[in-house]
Structure 1
C-alpha cells in the first residue's frame, strides 16, 4: 500500500531539513580546515622564498599524514550514530571515547617516527638545499600537534554521530582565528620565524582538541559513560577503521598517480593540473558535506531498526547529490574566465586548463552520486566493501592514466581518466546500494 502524497511530501521535507541541518555546518568546518595552511603560507611567505618552499614541503607531509587517518572520523561517526539511533547514548559516547583513545595512541606513534625521521622525509619529498632546513624545523615542531589533530578527527566523528555538526564548525572557525593571531605574533612579534608559525599552529590545534575533549567528557559524565581506556573497545575501533584506511590509501594513490602523470606532460600541463586539482578539492568539500550528513543520518536510522527509513533517506540524498553536482558543474563552466587568471597569467596554462575543467564540470553529477553513496555505506559500517571497491577502482584507473602520455590527449585525457575513475566508483557503489546488503540494522553491525 502506497503512502498518501501528503505524507510522502512531509517525509521528503523532513529528510531535507535533516540533510541541510547537518550538511551546511559540516561544509563550513571542512572549508575552515585548509585555511590553516593558507594563513601559514601568507605569513611565512613574507619571510622569504626558501621559508615558503620549506613550509610547502612540510605541509604536504603533514596533510598526507593526517588524511591517512581520516578514518578516525568516519568510523566513529558510523558507530556512534548507530547507538544513538538505538537509544543507547552512554554506549554511543563510550564508543566515541574508544575512538579518541585510538587517535591518541596513533598520534603518539606518528610523533615518535616523524621527529627523528624529519630530515629524511623532507629529502624524499625533494626539498632543495636552501628549503630543507626550514622544512625540517617546521615538520619537527608541527609533528607535536599530530596527536591533537587526530583527537580532533575522532572527536569530530563523535559529535557527527550525535547529530551535531554545529560544534565542529564553531571549533574550526575558532581554531582558524586563533591560528592566524598566534602565527602573526610568534613569527613577527616574537621573531621566531618559521618556527613561530609551527608553534602557533600546534597551540591552536591543541586548543581545538581540548575544546572537543571538554564537550565529549561532559556528555560522557552526564550519561554515565566511562572515560577509562578499554583495550577491547580500542581494538574494535581500529578493526572498524582498517578497511576505511585501505580505502583512503587507495584514493590517495589515485591522486598521486594523476599528479605524477601530469608532471610528465610538461610544465604547462602540471601547472594547469594544480589549478584543476585545487578546484576539484574545493568541489569535494561541498559534496563531502552531504556525505557527512549521510553517515550520521543513515547510522541513526539503522541503529533504530528502521531499514525502510534508511533506504528512503538514501534515495533522497542521491537526489541531493545529483542536484548539487549539476549546480557545481554549471558554476565551474560559468566561472572559468574569472577564476583561472587568479592562478596564472600564462595563456598556455589557460589553454591546458580550460578543456580539463570542462571534463570536471561534466562529471560533477556523477561525483555527487559517488560522495552520497560513499557516505551512506560508511554510515552503514560497510567498510570492507568500500575498501574492495576502491582497490578495484585503483586497478582500473592506473593503467589508463599511465597510458595517457603514450596515447596523447594531454591534460584533458588525464582528467578523462579521472572521470572514468569516478564512473567506476559510482557503478560499484550503486550496485552495493541497490543490492540492499548494506542495510544491517541494530546498535552494532
Structure 2
C-alpha cells in the first residue's frame, strides 16, 4: 500500500525522481490503494503568491507522478496534499488548487464508505444501485437464514428427544418452554430490534469520522509508517445494549426461578397434574440460562447493525451443536430425562454468548470510558413501545397455549409439535426481515429514501415467494415430519389435523415478519406497538371461544392473529403521512 504521511522539501523531489518506472505505472493505474494526507498540516493561508515564492519546484514529470497519489482516491476523506520543511511549502498554487478541488462534501464521503461496504461483500461499485442493494440484501440474508435455522433446529431436536420419553414429559416441557419464552422475550425481542436499528444508525452517522481502511491499517500515518492497527470502534449504542441485556437477564433469571410455581398455575398446570413436577424442575433449570439468552439476542442485534450475519451463524452453530451432542448423553445415558434436556440447553446458551462476546470484542470497545456516553434514555423510550408490543404478542400466544394445556396431556403434546414446526419454519423469514431492517436503518439515517424504497419492495416480494414455497413444502411433508417427534398414535392423530394451520398460514407469517422488520428499520416503534396491541386484543377475544372447538379453534385464532399483523403492516405502508411517505413519490 502506498502510504505517505509527510513530504519534506528537497527529499520530496528526490523521492519522486528516484521512483522506478514500474512503481510510477502502478501508481498511475491506481489500484484503490491511496495515501491519506493530513489536512491539519496545511496552513490556512495557502495562496498563489506565497507558494510560488517557495524554493521547491516540481518539474512536469514529477507533478504527473504525484497526481495519481491524490487523484486516485477511493474514499476522499482528505483531499489536500501537504509538504513540510523547515523553509516552508514549495508546491505551485495551480497544483494545490487542483488538489483542493478534489475535496468532497459529506455526502460524497458517505457514498464512498457505502461503496467500500459493498466491495467487502462482493458487490462491484460500477453496478447500478438497485442491483447492488438486492445483492447486498441477499448476501446478508443467506447467513442470517442459516442462523435462524440453527436455533429452531436445536429446539426441534430437543422436542424430538423429549417426545420419545412420553406425552407427559413432552407436554410438561412444552408448557415450561412457553413460559420461559414469554418471560425472557418480554424484553429480549425489543432489545434485539432496537439494538439493530440504533447500531446501524450509529455506524452510518460516524462514517465520516472513521479513518480505518478495509485491510485494518489506519490510513493516517507518520513518515510512511502506520500509526494504528485494527482499531476497535467506540460505539455507545453497543455498550448500552450490553449493559441493559446483563441487567435484564439477571432480573428474568430471578423471576423465573422464584416464580416457576406461580407461572405454572397461571398456565393451568395445578399441583395434582402429572405434568407439574417435571415442568417445575425443567423451568427452574432453564431459568439459569436467562442471562445468556438475553445477552446473546442483544449481541445478534448488534452484529446485524454491523451488517454482519456470518459471525452469529458461527457462534450459534457451535453452541447448538453442543446441545444436540449433550441431549442423548444426559437424557438417556445418564437417565436424567427432561432435566438433562434443560441442562444441555443452558450449557449451549452460555457457550453461544461467550463466543459472541469474544468476537464482538475484536470489533468494538465493549464498555464506554464515560457513563454519560450511554444511551439508556433512547433505548428505554423506543424499547418501551416494543415492550408493549411484545406483551400483546405474548399474551395472545400464552392464552393459546393455556387453552391447549387444558385439553389434556395428549392435546398439549400435539399442540407443542405443531407450534414448534410452525414457529421454526416461519422464523426463517425473520432472517430476511432482520437483514432488510439493517439496510433500511442504515440508508434511512442517510436520507437515501430511493434506496430504502428499493429495499422495501424487494424484501416484500422475496418474503411472499418464500412463504408460498414453505407452504407447499409443508403441505406435502408435514405428516412425515410429525413422526420424528413422537410415535404415540393418539398424539399423531391430533397432529395431522393441524396440517392446514401449519402450512397454509406460512405466506401470512412471512409477510407479518417482513412488515415488522420494515417498521423497525425506520424506527416506527410507536405504530408497531399500538397496532400490535389492537391485533392482540381482537385475537385474544377470538381465542376465548376456542375451548368450544378445541385445538382447531386455537389454531384458527393464531392464524387470525398473524393475518391481522400483516394487514396492519400493509395499512401503514399505504399511509402518505407516516414514515413511508416516500413510497408514494417518484424519487
> Paired residue for 2:535, among 379, 393, 416?
393
Structure 2 counterpart of 1:438: 579
The corresponding residue for 1:15 is 133
Tell me the TM-score normalized by structure 1. 0.81
Partner of 1:339: 481
> CA–CA distance in 2 between the matches of 1:164 and 1:378?
18
1:290 is aligned to 432
Q: Find the partner of 1:425 among 535, 553, 565.
A: 565
CA drift at 1:112: 3.1
C-alpha contact 1:220 1:227 (8 A) present in aligned 2: no
The answer to whether the aligner puts 1:64 opposite 2:182 as a matched pair is: yes
Q: Which residue of 1 aligns with 2:517?
A: 375
- Residues 97-112 of structure 1: matches in 2 within 5 Å? 97-112=239-254
Deviation at 1:399, TM superposition (A): 2.6
1:190–1:367 distance in 2 versus 1, CA, 3 Å:
closer
Between the aligned partners of 2:528 and 2:476, the Cα distance in structure 1 is 34
- Tell me, in whole angstroms, the C-alpha distance in 1 between the residues paired with 2:409 and 2:278: 26
Residues 233 and 363 in structure 2, CA contact (< 8 A), matched pair in contact too: no
SS across alignment from 1:220: coil
CA gap of 1:164–1:261, structure 2 versus 1, over 3 A, is: same
Q: For 1:236-271, what per-residue CA distance to the aligned partner results, in whole angstroms no more than 9, with x for missing partners?
A: 222221211221221122223333445667887666
Supply the distance in 1 between the matched residues of 2:283 and 2:478 (Cα, whole angstroms).
Answer: 35
Q: Which residue of 304, 310, 313 corresponds with 1:169?
A: 313
CA positional deviation for 1:77:
0.4
The worse-fitting range, judged by mean Cα deviation, of 16-25 and 84-93 is 84-93
Residues 390-412 of structure 1 show CA distances to partners (whole Å, capped at 9, x for unaligned) of: 11111222233333555x6x655
Indicate how the Cα distance of structure 1 residues 228 and 181 shifts in structure 2: closer, same or farther if over 3 A, else same: farther
Gaps of 5+ in 1: 1-6
Q: Give the structure-2-normalised TM-score.
A: 0.63
Instruction: Give the 3-state SS of the residue equivalent to 1:226 in structure 2.
Output: coil
Alpha-carbon distance, 1:154 to partner:
0.7
Aligned counterpart, 1:80: 199
CA RMSD of aligned residues (A): 3.8
Match of 1:25 among 140, 143, 146: 143
Distance in 2, Cα, partners of 1:77 & 1:419: 28
Q: Within the alignment, does 1:212 sit opposite 2:330 as a pair?
A: no
Structure 1 residues 63, 417: closer, same or farther in 2, change over 3 A?
closer
Find the aligned partners of 1:149 and 1:421 in 2 and give their Cα distance: 26
Question: Partner of 2:111 in structure 1?
Answer: none
Contact 1:332 1:361 in 2 (8 A): yes
For the Cα contact (< 8 Å) 1:102–1:238, is it kept in 2?
Answer: no
> How many pairs were matched up?
430
Distance in 2 of aligned mates of 1:211 and 1:389 = 37
Q: Distance in 1 between matches of 2:338 and 2:451?
A: 52
| Structure having greater relative contact order (Cα 8 Å, sep ≥ 6) | 1
Between the aligned partners of 1:405 and 1:198, the Cα distance in structure 2 is 31
Structure 1 stretch displaced more, 187-196 or 23-32: 187-196
CA offsets, 1:180-239, max 9 Å, x none? 445666678888776665555434322322222222232124xx9826655851232222
Return the alpha-carbon distance in structure 2 between the equivalents of residues 187 and 344 of structure 1.
16
- The alpha carbon displacement at 1:151 in A equals 0.9
How far does the alpha carbon of each residue in 1:250-303 deviate from its partner, in whole angstroms, 9 at most, with x for none?
112222333344566788766654443333212222211111112111111112
Q: Which has the higher mean CA deviation after the structures are superposed, 195-204 or 231-240?
A: 195-204
